[in-house]
Amino acid sequence: MIDMHAHWRPAELVDALRARTKAPRIRRTDDGVEVLEAPRMADTPLAQAFDDAEVQLARMDRQGVSMSVLSLLGTFCWVESQPPAESGALCRQVNDGFAAICARHPGRFAAFAALPLTDMSDAAAELERAMALPGVIGAQLPGNYFLTRTDAEAVRLLLAVANRHRAVLLIHHGPRPGDAFPKVGGGVDNARRRNGTLDMQASLSSVMVTLCLTDLLAGYPDVTVVVHNLGGNIPYEVERMDHRCLLDTPEEVLPSARFRAAKVAVDCNSFGPRAIEAAVALYGAERIVCGTDGSAFGVDWTRKALEDAQIGDAARALILQRNAAAMLDRVGLAAAERAAA
C-alpha cells in the first residue's frame, strides 16, 4: 500500500507553539507539565503530541504500508495562515523537516509541502524551493480555494509552479486564511458529525464541481490533483446531476461523463466498500488512490474496505499501489529532466 494521505504532527513547531498565546499552543499546567492545547488534542502531553518517523515506520511495516506521503495535520496548518513574515519561516521549517525524514528513509516517505498562504507570491516561491528538497512531491492546499471557479483564481500562481514540476496537489478540506472555520460551533448537537462529515463532504463535492466541470485546469495539463474522501458525495449525487442536466440543459454533456473524463484523482480515505464501489463505477479505478489520514485505525479500515469492495483484483491493485506509484514517477521524471537540462 502507498498511503497518499498521511497527516503528520511535526515536532519542529515546538518552539513556535510555546510562543503562542491561543490554541493551538503549548502551555504548562499547574503541576508544571507541558501539554499541547489544540482542537481534539486537548492537553496532550508533549511526548504524545508529535509524530516520530521510527514509530511510524514500525507501524507501516506491521500493516504493509510501503510508503507514506506526509502532510500537515489540520491542527498544525495554522502556520500557513500567519502574517507573511512569520508564515514563510514556519513553512520552511516544516518542509525542511519533511525533507529530512524523506532523506533518512529513502523510498519510505514522501511529502506535501506546507505553504505561506497569506502571500501567494511567497507561497509560489516556497513551492518552487520545496520541490527541490528530497521527497517533496507537491503541496497540500485548503479545499476552500476551490469551492467555486472564482475562488480558485487566487491559486493560479501555485498551479503554474505545480504544472512546471509535474507536481501533485492534495486538495484537503479546510479554510483559507481568514475563513470562519468550522461552520458549526461546538455547542451545536452532533457538531463533529456535522463538521467532519456533512460539511466536509458537501464542500469537497463543490471542489470537484470546480475542478471537473469548469476549465480551471485546462492550462495546467501536467498537474496531478488529488481530492480526498472520494471527492465528496459526487458518486452518489451524480445521477441526480445527470437527471437535472437532461431536464434543464439537455444540450450539455452529462456531468457523469465530464467527471469520468476529468484527470482529477480522489483518495478513498475513511470510506467503506459500498462507497468505493460507487467511486470505481463513476471515476474508474485508475483515478483512485489509498488514503488513511496516517493513523493505525485508518490503515486497517481502508485495507478492510478495499478487501470487501466488489471491484476485482485488478482495480484493487491500482488503488492500493499502482496509481500512486505512477504519480510519484511523474514527479521524479520531471525532476530528472530538470537536472539533465
Torsions phi, psi for 66 (to 5 deg): -80, -35
220, three cell numbers: 495546467
Q: Which helix (H) or strand (E) holds 139?
A: strand 136-142
Q: Is residue 169 within 8 Å of 141, Cβ to Cβ? A: yes
Instruction: Give the separation between CA 338 and CA 103, rounded to whole angstroms.
Output: 20
Domain limits, the chain: 2-15+51-340
pLDDT of residue 146: 98
Q: Once rounded to an integer, what is the mean pLDDT over residues 188-215?
A: 96
The mean per-residue pLDDT over the stretch 110-116 comes to 98
Check pLDDT > 70 for residue 115.
Answer: yes
DSSP designation for 176? P
The pTM of this model reads 0.96
pLDDT of 268-324, one tens digit each?
999 999 999 999 999 999 999 999 998 878 999 999 999 999 999 999 999 999 999
Q: Dig out the grid coordinates for 273 from the structure.
A: 466498500
In this structure, which amino acid lies at residue 20? R
Q: Identify residue 91 by its one-letter amino acid code.
A: C
The CATH architecture assigned to 2-15+51-340 reads Alpha-Beta Barrel (3.20)
- Residues 200, 233 contacting (CB under 8 angstroms): no
Express each pLDDT in 5-36 by its tens digit.
Answer: 999 999 999 999 999 998 899 999 988 899 99
Q: What is the pLDDT, as a whole number, of residue 341? A: 67
So what's the pLDDT on residue 233? 97
Distance between CA 168 and CA 227 in Å, rounded?
Answer: 11
Q: Return the amino acid letter for 245.
A: C
Computed over every residue of the chain, the mean pLDDT equals 95
